[in-house]
Amino acid sequence: MPITYGKPLLEPPAYFSIAGMYGCSKSEIISRLRDAERPSPSIYTPAVDLFIAVLEKKISFKGAIVQASRLPEPQNRCATNVLLEADNFLSLESAHCITKIPDIALPIGSELKINVSPIWLRRIGNIFRVLSLYFWKKKLTSGQLSAVGAIIKGGISCCRSDLSGLEIDLIAISENDLLSRRTFERYGWDRLKPLNEGDLEKFLSLFRESWREYRANGPRTPQTRHKKDLFSP
């Protein structure tokens, strides 16, 4: 599909994008930053909204499927596939009060920060848990999941230390290459295995170096080229 570059990034992309760079070389990180200049299509927003509405019991599962079917493509297919894979989880979970946690960011030096958004706080009776949703098509590696965990944990520690002791539910519904379809995964801190402080700093140091080089190169001449669509549902 034709791609037109957007404006150069003025700040690092959000946390899932950066965690997805874990294990990349400097040149690969710079390439991904350039790709991030192109605003992502809002394929995943309806899936997220419907998932949370069902989890809060504000709408039935069948009602959410009907609403998903009325969306245009590719939002329709993405939301439907996400909901179908999450059916058991959504059916078994009791009604929850869910609120978005605002203003969470992880400072990473050189006046840079990673925006840790969106994440939510859900109340289950008298218990509170952090909620993060990953509905992108590409499955995260174990290392990237560890990077996500470390970034979320660090952001919460910096900005909302009162939530630091809470368990997390990171719900990942992405494509399994072996099955050629999306699969449901639920990660707590134990499964995420957040990077330790030294490994996180090593990764962030490489990211900062890549960011400086990316910014030093200046804006590119806007152009249109063809590239495989990375945002397929």
pLDDT in tens, 142-177: 999 999 999 999 999 999 999 999 999 999 999 987
In a domain, 72, yes or no: yes
- 32: its two tokens: 């991904």
In a domain, 124, yes or no: yes
In a domain, 96, yes or no: yes
Distance between CA 69 and CA 71 in Å, rounded?
6
233 pLDDT tier (thresholds 50, 70, 90): very low
SS3 assignment, position 2? strand
In a domain, 232, yes or no: no
Give the contacts of 178 (CB within 8 A, at least 6 positions apart): none
In a domain, 233, yes or no: no
In a domain, 104, yes or no: yes
Distance between CA 135 and CA 122 in Å, rounded?
19
Secondary structure (DSSP) of 145-212: HHHHHHHHHHHHHHH-GGGTT-EEEEEEEEEETTTTEEEEEEE-HHHH-PPPHHHHHHHHHHHHHHHH
Q: Is the pLDDT of residue 135 over 70?
A: yes
Per the structure, the complete domain to which residue 128 belongs is given by 2-226
SS3 assignment, position 128? strand
pTM of structure = 0.88
In a domain, 231, yes or no: no
SS3 assignment, position 18? helix
Domain tally, the chain: 1
